[in-house]
Amino acid sequence: MLNTSYVGRSLPTTEPVVITADSVSRFARALGLPGDAAVPPTYLVSLTMPAADPLIADPEFGLDWSRVLHRDQRFVYHRELRAGTEVALTPTVESIKTVAGNDLLTIHTEVADAEGLAAEVWTTLFVAGDPA
């Protein structure tokens, strides 16, 4: 079971990271898009999941990554992001719901550039309960 006292807790904002043309190209090609495509709408997952690594690695939080299934992903863009943009990410544990002994974890990540909030990403993970 996840530690529900983490609900509402934000992780430290990441150091700024540049969205590079190479990373966008590799991500686009992995989706079957042309390598010169614009930043794909789902590209931010490549930044938001690493931003949550401190939470995943925190033994007090209680997340066993081997018991995790990706359940849902939602993106809201406040403006278009382009290669060359520098962003910083702030993940927050939005909710933990226990259903039939399993946890549903939602992490809300704010993505900010030099102009402020550029996008928001919600990631929901299904965390299987302990079979014992």
Residue whose pair of structure tokens reads 């609900």 in the numeric block: 7
User: Tens digits of per-residue pLDDT, 27-74?
Assistant: 999 999 887 778 999 999 999 999 999 998 999 999 999 999 999 999
Determine the Cα–Cα distance for residues 127 and 85; give it in Å rounded to an integer: 33
Query: pTM of this prediction?
Result: 0.93
Sketch the domain layout of the chain as residue ranges: 4-127
Are 68 and 127 in contact, with CB atoms under 8 Å apart? yes
Domain 4-127 has CATH 3.10.129.10: yes
* pLDDT value for 36: 77
